[in-house]
Amino acid sequence: MASIGTNIKKLRQNMKLTQEQLAEKLGVTFQAVSKWETSSNTPDIALLPSIAKELGCLIDDLFSDSDLTAATMPGHIKDDDVIRIVQMQGKRILEAHVVSKDEPFIHVRFPQKGSSPVYKVEIYGNLISEGTINGDVVCHGWIDCADIAGDVHADGDVRANGIYAVDDVTCNQIVECYNLKCRNLACSGDVHAVNLMCENKSP
């Protein structure tokens, strides 16, 4: 059973930090970090958020018994077939609030496997794609793309030539869309779509 000290040591080494460097970031002595890692002592509970932040993990990961090789990924991401795109600096995921429309775009080429949805995409940030995404999209930001052949869940605005969802489209607002076809459309703002075909629209 892994201890918090063992996890701190593994995560610190993953981040390529020395005990002295971690101690300086946390405002403690390197002897304190050494004692945590050898389980001679445990960190003050008030330090846990700072420790997790500096080690690029969740607080839960500090107490985890599982392999921490993917602990720097948000929300305990599973080993599945979902394509996920994250912005990282080293092994640390940049916080979502730093992603804005002023940030440089990251261009990603999605696999083309026919016209029907065959995979899922999850993006921690904003998405711009010139090609068709043949699958469901979860975007923790805004979307600017060509066509999406699958369900869409975006925290921000969506601009797309066409959206052909099997079931749901959820977003802040549809900025511009030529074809929009779905079963359920939940949009908190305006919907600007030339050809809109949906069974249920809210609010």
pLDDT at 50 over 80: yes
Question: How large is the average pLDDT for residues 5-22?
Answer: 88
Domains belonging to the chain, first-starting first, are 4-63 (1.10.260.40), 83-202 (no CATH)
Length of the chain: 203
Give the residue from 42, 30, 49, 31 showing the smallest Cα distance to 6. 42
The 10 Å Cβ neighbour count of residue 26 is 16
| pLDDT at site 3 | 81
**pLDDT tens-digit series, residues 126-164:** 888 877 888 899 988 889 888 998 999 998 899 999 999
Q: Look at 34-38, 121-125, 178-182, 184-188 and tell me which has the smallest mean pLDDT.
A: 121-125
pLDDT score of 1 more than 50: no
Percent of the chain with pLDDT over 90: 37
Cis peptide before 49 (omega within 30 of 0): no
β pairing state of 143-148 and 127-129: parallel
DSSP string, 33-49: HHHHHTTSS---GGGHH
Which pLDDT score, from 0 to 100, does residue 10 have?
Answer: 85
